[in-house]
Every structure is written in structure tokens, then in C-alpha cells.
Amino acid sequence: MFDSDALAQAMQRSRGHAAVVMGPRGLIDLAQSGSAKAMLPRVTSGLPEVVFLNTSGGLASGDHLGFSLDLRAGTHAQATTQTAERAYRAKGSPAHAEVSLTVGTGGWLDWLPQETILFDGARLERHTRVDLQGDAGCMILETVMLGRLARGEQLRHLHLRDRREVRRDGQIIHHDALALDDGVLERRANPALLGEARVMATLAIIAPHAPDLLQSARAELNEPGVIGAASAPPGRLVLRLLARDDWPLRRQLNRLLARLRTDPLPRIWQI
């Protein structure tokens, strides 16, 4: 007799971890294993780049993926992912993703991963942790898509636990958590939840000067088809975006990043 649960338990799971250490003069160390890889494209202008990728093609039940970037004191860089991450239907335990980012004193990191696409039945638990030392700062972005509108994909079952935290010298200064499950999907028409939105993004800048960017950010929130809001708690600028389709949201993000940054976007974003 065919036992689908036993087959799922016996299937090979994806494991991968990529770790990069950089200093002001460039790469110090690179380690990668399993499905996780890291590339450092040659950059002639702007910030040095680190591009992470998952060669397994997506995350399914029981998979584990880890990305780590350590910027030593005085190092400025930007990091992204080669393509959208995909979380597929999972009958068993959730897929786990861990992102660990460290920025030394006087350093800066722009963490600009491409979007995460969730498929019906996906189960994903992700934790992104940024450790800032001294006066270091960062920009962090996260974009989540509930299926692809052009493919007519509808999500009825979902388990997402997505947590981002930023610490300065060991103390939490920013915490942002998102939980989505079947109940939220059933009630999504509620204006207090998602409404008709299928794509959501959060962009945060953690630095003493971040609140000074509030008016510039709000002036850029005018892309048709995108609902956006910005707030400026002490030492932070936080923007939240909702859209029904990914292209308007991507256009809005590109304009925001151009307004809030002085360096070119990662080349993979410009393809």
C-alpha cells in the first residue's frame, strides 16, 4: 500500500549554508556547502556586492538554508539574492531559513534580497538577524508574494513565520515579525489585513539619520496600484507597501531606493 507520509519522510532534504567575511579591502573568507552559494561580482563603481543563491530551486518541507555575511569594521557593502526564493507546498515540517548579518563599527550594509514567492500549502519559518556594532548602520528589505497573479495562483493553505531583528551592541533596537496562516487568508478581505493585496514589502533603515529621510520617502509613495506608508521611530525609518501585483510594487521600490540611497542598485536588480 502506498504511504505518502512515509515517502515524504524518506525523501532527501535540501541543506545549505554560505558564509562571507569582508573587510574594507575586500573578501577575507568564503565558505559554502550544500545548496547555498555566494558570489562576489566585480564592481567598478558603487558598493561591493555579495549575491547569495539557493541552487536547490526552492524550499520544501524540512529544508534548511542559511546565509551569513560578516562586514568587519569600516566595511560598506550591499548584499542580495540571485533570484526570487520560492517556498513550495510542504506536508511535513516547515522549511527553515536563517540569515545572519554582522556590521562592524563604522560599517554599512544594504540587505536587498529579491522577493519570496509563497505557493499554496507552503510552510516556511525564517529568521533574519542583523548585529550592528558601535555606529554601524543598515538598510533591510523583505518582499513576500502570495502566489503569482499572472499565473492565477491562489493560496488557501499557508504557514509563514518571518522574523527580522536588529541589535546594536547586543541590544534589540528593531523587531519586525509577520505571521500568516489559513485563518488570515480566509479573512484577508478585511481592510485591517491584506485586502486584495498579494504582494507586501517592508523597508527599514537603521541609523541615526534615518528619521531625517521621512519626508523624502513619503514624497515618493505615489506609484499607482501601491498602498504605502512610512514612519520614523527614533533611529529608524520604516516603510510598508502593499500591492495586488508585483510589477507596480517593484517600480515603487526602485524609486524609493533611488531616492534613499546614493549607490547603484545591485546589478542583478537591473537586469
What are the distances in angstroms from CA 148 to CA 9, 27, 205, 246? Answer: 29, 37, 28, 8
Write the DSSP symbol of residue 249.
Answer: H
Question: Of 103, 96, 85, nearest to 162 (Cα)?
Answer: 96
pLDDT band per the 50, 70, 90 thresholds, residue 2: very low
* 217 neighbors 260 (Cβ within 8 angstroms): yes
Per-residue model confidence as pLDDT tens digits over 187-222: 666 666 677 788 999 999 999 999 999 999 999 999
Rounded to whole angstroms, the Cα distance separating 10 from 5 reads 9
Span 238-264, average pLDDT: 94
Question: For residue 16, with 0-12 CB atoms within 10 Å meaning exposed, 13-18 middle and 19 or more buried, which class applies?
Answer: buried
Q: How many CA atoms lie within 13 A of 64 on its CB side?
A: 6
